[in-house]
Amino acid sequence: MDWLEQVRWDDKGLVPVIAQEKGTGDVLMFAWMNREALQKTAALGRAVYFSRSRGKLWFKGEESGHVQTVHSIRLDCDQDVILLSVTQTGHAPGIACHTGRHSCFYSELQGGAWQAVEPVLKDPQTIYK
């Protein structure tokens, strides 16, 4: 059986993906993949996602230079979520978020409000031209 056939794709042909940093275990981001994105990720060893807003493949780092090198691809027990173990490159420490932060999960619920608890490492205006 084709390994792509074992993934439980949603009704739009997508599967949720979590990118986790290999060295620290930090959850960097959440995104989506279609079959082509997952196939290219496996073939290239580089994270390729599907942008729902743009309706096309998104090679992580194509604009920012913040590429994710993929070390492993795991499928959860229900076969409907992908976990990537990655090294985030392009800026030290690696920036995964379009806000210029290390992780997209930088807001924490504190006192009934969301507070940014991670610093901006690089101004997004200088990342995206």
pLDDT for 5 equals 94
pLDDT for 89 equals 85
Range of the structural domain that residue 54 is part of: 3-127
Domain count, the chain: 1
pLDDT for 123 equals 85
pLDDT for 98 equals 86
> Residues near 49 by Cβ (< 8 Å), separated by ≥ 6?
17, 31, 32, 33, 37, 57, 58, 60
Q: Give the domain CATH number at 55.
A: 3.10.20.810
Question: Which stretches does DSSP call E strand in the chain?
Answer: 15-21, 27-33, 48-51, 56-59, 68-75, 82-88, 107-110, 113-116
pLDDT for 6 equals 96
pLDDT digits (tens, 9 = 90+) for 88-114: 887 666 788 888 888 888 998 999 999
Average pLDDT of adjacent 10-residue blocks, the chain of 129 residues: 92 97 93 98 97 94 88 97 92 78 89 92 79
pLDDT for 1 equals 61
pTM greater than the 0.85 cutoff: yes
